[in-house]
């Protein structure tokens, strides 16, 4: 499992993230506190407190990690 901290604090950022990650094969979760949602579910993401950073967990994928990192780069917290 690989994890990343993300900033999804606007509607545009959430839409862009879901669009980007939705094209990838695998299982991706977003975690905020004790809540875990499917990272490909726009409704699930909007049910979270997006004022705080969220954690992306890559559980299983056939994609190259470097490609995933390139795709999520605009949303990463460094």
For each of the chain's 78 residues, which pLDDT tens digit applies? Answer: 899 999 999 999 999 999 999 999 999 999 999 999 999 999 999 999 999 999 999 999 988 999 999 999 999 998
Question: What does the pLDDT read at residue 49?
Answer: 92
Pairwise CA distance, residues 73 & 55, whole Å? 14
Does the predicted model carry a pTM greater than 0.85?
yes
Look at residue 78 in the predicted model and tell me its pLDDT.
Answer: 83
* Residue 16 structure tokens: 């862009």
Q: How far apart are CA 4 and CA 78, in angstroms?
A: 9
């Amino acid at each position: 499992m690989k994890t990343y901290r993300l900033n999804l604090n606007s509607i545009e950022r959430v839409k862009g993230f879901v669009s980007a990650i939705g094209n990838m094969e695998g299982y991706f979760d977003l975690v905020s506190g004790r809540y875990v949602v499917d990272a490909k579910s726009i409704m699930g993401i909007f049910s979270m407190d997006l004022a705080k950073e969220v954690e992306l967990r890559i559980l299983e994928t056939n994609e190259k990690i470097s490609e995933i990192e390139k795709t999520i780069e605009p949303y990463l917290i460094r």
